[in-house]
Amino acid sequence: MERLIVISSLVHALAEGEAEAHGGGLPQPIVSAMAGRNALWFGWSGKVTERFTGSLKLECCDGMRMASVDLDAADIDEFVNGYANRTLWPMLHGRTDLAEFERHFTDGYERGNSRLARSIMPLIEEDHLVWVHDYPLFLVANELRALGCDNRIGFFLHTPWPHRSILTALPDHARMVQALLCYDVIGFQTEDYRQAFLDYLESELGISPIEDDLIEFEGRCIRVLALPVGIDAAEYRDLLASPEARASHQASMESANGRSMIAGVDRLDFSKGLPQRFAGYDRFLSARPDMQEQIFLLQIAPPARNDIPCYSHIREELEALSGRINGKHATSNWVPIRYVNREHSRQQLAGIFRAARIGLVTPLQDGMNLVAKEFVAAQDPENPGVLILSKFTGAAAQLKEALTINPFSADELAEAIEQALKMPVAERKRRWRSLYDIVNREDAAWWCDSFLQRLRGSSEIERPVLLS
């Protein structure tokens, strides 16, 4: 049995309400991947304390062991909402223009990483593997090493890794990347991100790989992998059989009333390309007035990170845009965009995906995009919907049989909608089969096994072949 400690900034099962409030994508693959392993999950509890004490709360929930600590208000402002979400998130998604650089954010980030590392250190035993997740925790291994931890520590980045011309706009970028080199294994979602990281190392730090996926730094060897995160496809298909998913599917079919539903499901984030998506849909409606009333767009986008100004701006922009498009094209018995800001359960979403004729996944930049994989898993094999997918998602490197588009081009999106609506069922079935095979084969368990195999230091599992 594995002796594993998984660290993410937020232990979400303990704090789902807070996870939504802070706009964290729910780390479902981590939950799936940990099931049945002898793992301990550690992170922030989601709760705010007046004074940080570092005292651990230990719990067991759904067979998973969890340890968490409360952070103080300054940690939340400067570390979680500050450096992680206002500085790093925009930078990693190529939006230097939206990134905020504040010295106290940097200090708060270092303090937050240090506090989490110090809190978990007493529970790390000699034979534990430690697996740290995502951009809020770049510095954890550095902190653990300073405390004397010489366990194998791995890191997986769920977001993109940007080109060095973007990253070098981050003050202290070299210090941050050097701290990252305290991990033994560093995983990225795609080969492109991995290459961008290696390119940064070579040009900014003068570090060249000694083998294709191996670098050496200060006498240590670090593996740098591309390993796309997967969903638990079998579990997702089981979800479809739940009463809630069935009811959601039936309600969606009834409400579509013979019209083809185009579905979009995203957190309301600037990286998701929602204004561009609405513009492409508007372009289609204008080009094909004969198709109006036969289709509609259901866009589900619950607000996230409301206390950050650019998130309220995008919310206002989308309200104005959907109002304008509806005003322009609607008739007395048809509304072209149903724009919904409410949260939906996984079961409800599964039912909606199955009822959709088209899934629109069009981010401007996205590390992976799990919605694309969930949409594929939810389809009826005999009458599957078509996935329209941005080429700037990590998922596009695997899901080659989707209709891949440039999300910045309204024309490309409009043409893809037309192609999807006209696509014969035989072609839809052929494309879906290939998409589902990859979603099912490279699933959450495969991702987790492959990463841990590398972290243990063995190379029995072959490198993924589909990452170009």
- Residue 130 has phi, psi (to 5 degrees) of -120, 130
Binding mask 345-364 for ligand ADP (x = CB under 6 A): ----x---------------
x/- map, 173-212, ligand ADP, by CB under 6 A = ----------------------------------------
Q: Which is nearer to ligand ADP, 222 or 359 (CB)?
A: 359
Compute the half-sphere exposure of residue 354: CA atoms within 13 Å on the CB side of its CA. Answer: 26
- Give the whole-angstrom CA distance, residue 441 versus residue 447: 10
Binding range to ligand ADP, per CB under 6 A, among 85-93, 314-322, 366-374, 399-407: 366-374
Options 240-248, 341-349, 376-384, 460-468: segment touching ligand ADP (CB under 6 A): 341-349
Rounded to whole angstroms, the Cα distance separating 155 from 145 reads 14
How far is 297 from 264, CA to CA, in rounded Å? 8
Q: Please give the positions annotated as active site.
A: 158, 366
Q: Which of 154, 164, 159 is nearest to 190 (CA)?
A: 159
Please give the residue whose beta carbon sits closest to ligand ADP in the complex: 25
- Which of 307, 343, 411, 437 is in the footprint of ligand ADP by CB under 6 A? 343
What tokens were used for 161? 């890794």
User: Of 158 and 357, which CB lies nearer to ligand ADP in the complex structure?
Assistant: 158
How many residues of this chain bind ligand ADP (CB under 6 A)?
A: 17
Q: Does 371 bind ligand ADP (CB under 6 A)?
A: yes
124 binds ligand ADP (CB under 6 A): no
* Nearer Cβ to ligand ADP (87/365): 365
Binding ligand ADP (rule: CB under 6 A), the pick from 22, 267, 283, 431 is: 267
Give the pair of three-digit tokens for residue 135: 């951009």
Q: Which two tokens stand for residue 360?
A: 């629109």
Q: Is residue 344 near ligand ADP by the rule CB under 6 A? A: yes
- Which residue, 207 or 435, has its beta carbon nearer to ligand ADP? 435
Instruction: Give the β-pairing of 386-390 and 295-300.
Output: unpaired
Q: Any contact of residue 228 with ligand ADP (CB under 6 A)?
A: no
Q: How far is the CB of 446 from ligand ADP (least distance, A)?
A: 17
Return the range that interacts with ligand ADP (CB under 6 A); candidates 143-151, 262-270, 307-315, 417-425.
262-270
For residue 441, count other CB atoms closer than 10 A to its CB: 13
How far is Cα 139 from Cα 110, in angstroms, rounded to an integer? 7
Q: Is 26 in the site for ligand ADP (CB under 6 A)?
A: yes
The window from 111-119, 193-201, 343-351, 377-385 that contacts ligand ADP (CB under 6 A) reads 343-351
Contact 55, 82 (CB under 8 A): no
28 binds ligand ADP (CB under 6 A): yes
Answer left, alpha or beta for residue 359, where phi above 0 means left and psi between -120 and 50 means alpha: beta
Four-residue CA torsion sign, 253, 404, 407, 330: negative
Q: Which stretch in 36-44, 139-147, 166-174, 259-267 sits in contact with ligand ADP by CB under 6 A? A: 259-267
Which has the closest alpha carbon to 456: 7, 154, 220? 154
Angle at 206 between CA 202 and CA 212, to 5 degrees: 45
Q: What DSSP character marks residue 334?
A: B
Tell me the closest approach of the beta carbon of residue 270 to ligand ADP, in angstroms. Answer: 11
Look up residue 259 and give its amino acid.
R
Smallest gap from Cβ 151 to ligand ADP, in A, equals 28
User: Which residues here bind ligand ADP, judged by CB under 6 A?
Assistant: 25-26, 28, 265-267, 300-302, 343-344, 349, 368-371, 374
